[in-house]
Structure 1
Amino acid sequence: MDPHAITSLDGLMRHYEAPHERFIRKVTDRLEERARDFIAASPFCILATSGRHGPHATPRGDAPGFVRPLDDRTLALPDRRGNNRLDGLRDILEQPEVALLFLIPGVGETLRVHGTARITTDPALRTRCAAQGKAPATVVLVAVREVYAHCAKAIIRSKLWGERRRPEGVPTNGELIAAHTAGATIDPVQYEAEYQQRLITQLY
């Protein structure tokens, strides 16, 4: 037995500082304009699911904007051709809670979306999500519960994008935080400047 194993929340928190209030409050429950802009620029996301065989994380990718907001609380994720194991879809049938992590090449920040999913074969929606003349077999509809930006530290530390530059038009972390934080007025320009400094001084 590992004498250093952590088995309680109190034991865990003894090893970490309490999170700043701004990180607790940076969550919204809808797909507002800045979140939609980020998703529209994203060609890749990871779908996290869990079922009777445990968790699965599956990559999903296509042209930027392949995941479509249908309204401010619903995302449509087309299921493109794959190996037909259907691990994630099987999980959704058993347990509809899902998480999505959106990435954009050249951008350090990621966007996290949590919610519940269902699978549809709606012909009109499948046609709307077609690519190269081929409609997906199904579309995963995610009822959004939480949306928030995740900071760039992991991407920076890993040098995932190398020297690739940030595409124009992608909202900054300051803009995302300002849009997602309830009950407080945040200056996105000032927040972004402070955030960039924190990335330098608090990377490790």
Structure 2
Amino acid sequence: MNHDVSSVEQLEAIYGEPGERAVWKELTYLNEDYQAFVKACPFVVLASVGDEGTDCSPKGDPAGFVQILDERTLAVPDRPGNNRIDNLRNIIADPRVSLLFLIPGIGETLRVNGRARISVDPDLLARFEVNGKLPKTVIVVSIDRVYFHCAKAIVRSHLWDQATQIARECLPSTGAMHRRLSGGHFDAETYDRDLQKNTAAGLY
């Protein structure tokens, strides 16, 4: 017997209709409340889709790093990383993106669906200068839909509960993972020893 759900009709039979509040919280612009979430947020997950598949990339900076250009437009700086630029490649192929805003200690999240473009406008880059350094590009998102998500997932996961946090040494170190991936030809000890210093030096 096939137990896969393969139609919208099946889904609707399982879940029923969305509640009234789930419908009215969806807007096509950032109202005052949603702007407050963006301004308080230090961490965003950017999802994109392209010819090679999908990507989900973390973006982080001090709270308010995602700037509100107007009530229908957001700007996200692209800081130094591993230069895979998976999400940027995807945006070139397909502008559709989604953003998930996470604020430490807050259960509710903010979700934005829209279309993105990549800008190297000097004036726009200058808005994101940190320590004299500019992002290489800025991702500009035109909002199609925005809505807040209730706290149930955060509550179930105990995400912000310090009692559930585990020590970093309980998982393989970054160096150890690189060594395994390289087939053993990697100096994990030196990498791990210098990781904190190198990370701080390469933030911007």
TM-score range, shorter chain: 0.7 to 0.9
The 5 A counterparts of 1:36-51 are 36-51=35-50
How many Å apart are 1:146 and its aligned residue?
0.9
For structure 1, list consecutive stretches of 5 or more residues without a partner in the other structure: 165-204
Amino acid of the residue matched to residue 159 of structure 1?
H
Matched position secondary structure for 1:11: helix
How many Å apart are 1:21 and its aligned residue?
1.8
* Counterpart for residue 76 of structure 2: 77
Question: As a proportion of its length, which structure holds more helix?
Answer: 2
* Counterpart for residue 121 of structure 1: 120
* Counterpart for residue 172 of structure 2: none
RMSD of aligned Cα (Å) = 1.3
Taking the aligned partners of 2:42 and 2:88, their CA distance within structure 1 comes to 20
Matched position secondary structure for 1:50: strand
Taking the aligned partners of 1:131 and 1:53, their CA distance within structure 2 comes to 33
Matched position secondary structure for 1:30: coil
* Counterpart for residue 98 of structure 1: 97
Amino acid of the residue matched to residue 67 of structure 1?
V
Tell which has more relative contact order, 1 or 2 (C-alpha 8 A, sep 6+): 1
* Counterpart for residue 66 of structure 2: 67
Matched position secondary structure for 1:5: coil
* Counterpart for residue 194 of structure 1: none
For structure 2, list consecutive stretches of 5 or more residues without a partner in the other structure: 164-204
The 5 A counterparts of 1:43-192 are 43-162=42-161
Query: TM-score scaled by structure 1?
Result: 0.77
Matched position secondary structure for 1:35: helix
Moved more, 85-94 or 10-19: 10-19
* Counterpart for residue 13 of structure 1: 12
| Alpha-carbon displacement from aligned partner over 1:119-152 (angstroms, at most 9, x marks no partner) | 0101111011112221100000001111110000
Give the paired residue count: 163
Amino acid of the residue matched to residue 77 of structure 2?
P
Matched position secondary structure for 1:161: coil
How many Å apart are 1:102 and its aligned residue?
0.2
Amino acid of the residue matched to residue 80 of structure 1?
R
Taking the aligned partners of 2:96 and 2:136, their CA distance within structure 1 comes to 21
Moved more, 15-24 or 112-121: 15-24
How many Å apart are 1:17 and its aligned residue?
3.0
Work out which of the two has the higher radius of gyration on C-alpha atoms and give 1 or 2: 2
Matched position secondary structure for 1:14: helix
Taking the aligned partners of 2:155 and 2:97, their CA distance within structure 1 comes to 26
Deviation beyond 2 Å, 4+ runs, structure 1: none
Matched position secondary structure for 1:18: coil
Moved more, 24-33 or 76-85: 24-33
Taking the aligned partners of 1:119 and 1:144, their CA distance within structure 2 comes to 15
How many Å apart are 1:11 and its aligned residue?
1.4
- Percent identity reads 50
How many Å apart are 1:22 and its aligned residue?
1.8
Matched position secondary structure for 2:3: coil
Query: TM-score scaled by structure 2?
Result: 0.77
Amino acid of the residue matched to residue 73 of structure 1?
R
